[in-house]
Structure 1
């Protein structure tokens, strides 16, 4: 029964319906798809692959794993949070990550997840930034979700949020979006196997995506915040 409850809890927090606020962000997908005359032709698969391999696998995944290994040491988590802040070059991406993290912390505070209220208070007091990967590592660890499962949850959510954004933007239909997810799942699984050292650096840089994000405010009416 305990194992079944743990599995169901993992499903609950991996579900896209769980209120985290991530639906408001497209990681530059919207701007890139609208700026093809400046940036070149847009290809959803290449965009999705780059986001998983060159951002999630080398930055967000690392932050979650390192957060797990800190065993809910909130001061150390705040230091990791500051590292995420410093390593995220794009301001819209920094703002989006903090907003997603704060949304996740707020939801977990309301449902009574351990440490959510305390760490949210640290963010509000300026003692932490509240980046989403750090918040995920703290909260999912508090829920006794296994580290390996948490990494897979994060990778899947990253991919699913992008394909959902593509559907909302009218770039693909729901069936095609599932085809992209089917193709990216082995990429996520392979990246998840890569070892992470104790102080593994965070690194993420996708030039065209970040240029697109910087142009996002010039595209007129928009659906996503970045």
Structure 2
């Protein structure tokens, strides 16, 4: 695949209009907002912290490992990565949000491209042999479309960040202009997290963000919620 086509494919899957289910998620931000632990001037730092300590060691690392496995045609390793990632997610709503989004990606991916490993992975998810977490599903879809591992990881990190900032907009923690500033300020962190995920071993998969876990646990039992996570 040419560099231009890789770029276009990555832009399509990272677009906020792509129906991955990210629109229903705040990625923990609503919990912080409900607990009054984040204000408008703290959104960018919270996003950076989550990328460095949670998303990067967890989802991004899984995506990189699963993408390499998918590119090699190793469905067993893809499944192992999927199961490890699911087990690393401590909160029920984070697990549920990840698999719901993953299943949407698999279904749409199957409509867009006819590829053997993607079909096999989708069948294993259907049979509940593997959970179908969003980063692993994204890895398989990206690999099926010929997108390189680094490009796939960076694109998914941007999709997460854009979704997070979109949630901040709906929670009235930022405006449209500042949202773009937040994404630009966070781009060096996305680059750092991408490179770290590419170098990390599968045995090191899993983030450490205890406050985010606490906020998610509280959010699960909130009386009113705008977001699924």
User: What is the TM-score normalised by the length of structure 1?
Assistant: 0.91
> Aligned in 2, Cα 1:108/1:206: closer, same or farther, shift over 3 Å?
same
Equivalence for 2:112: 111
Equivalence for 2:128: 126
The alpha-carbon deviation at position 199 of structure 1 amounts to: 3.2
Equivalence for 2:208: 205
Structure 2: runs of 5 or more not aligned: none
The alpha-carbon deviation at position 220 of structure 1 amounts to: 2.3
The alpha-carbon deviation at position 77 of structure 1 amounts to: 1.0
C-alpha distance in 2 between matches for 1:131 and 1:72: 18
Equivalence for 1:142: 144
After alignment, is 186-195 or 54-63 more displaced?
186-195
8 Å CA contact retained: 1:106, 1:116: no
The alpha-carbon deviation at position 175 of structure 1 amounts to: 0.6
Equivalence for 1:92: 93
> Aligned in 2, Cα 1:113/1:97: closer, same or farther, shift over 3 Å?
farther
C-alpha distance in 1 between matches for 2:202 and 2:219: 34
8 Å CA contact retained: 1:100, 1:131: yes
Equivalence for 1:82: 83
Q: How many residues align?
A: 223
After alignment, is 7-16 or 27-36 more displaced?
7-16
8 Å CA contact retained: 1:98, 1:131: yes
C-alpha distance in 2 between matches for 1:175 and 1:53: 24
The alpha-carbon deviation at position 113 of structure 1 amounts to: 4.5
8 Å CA contact retained: 2:61, 2:200: no
C-alpha distance in 1 between matches for 2:178 and 2:110: 36
Structure 1 counterpart of 2:165, from 163, 166, 170:
163
The alpha-carbon deviation at position 205 of structure 1 amounts to: 2.4
C-alpha distance in 2 between matches for 1:16 and 1:72: 29
The alpha-carbon deviation at position 198 of structure 1 amounts to: 4.7
1:5 and 2:5 correspond: yes
User: What is the TM-score normalised by the length of structure 2?
Assistant: 0.90
Q: Note the 1:34-45 alignment, pairs <5 A.
A: 34-36=34-36, 40-42=37-39, 43-45=42-44
8 Å CA contact retained: 1:62, 1:200: no
> Aligned in 2, Cα 1:29/1:118: closer, same or farther, shift over 3 Å?
same
8 Å CA contact retained: 2:6, 2:148: no
C-alpha distance in 2 between matches for 1:72 and 1:133: 17
Structure 1: runs of 5 or more not aligned: none
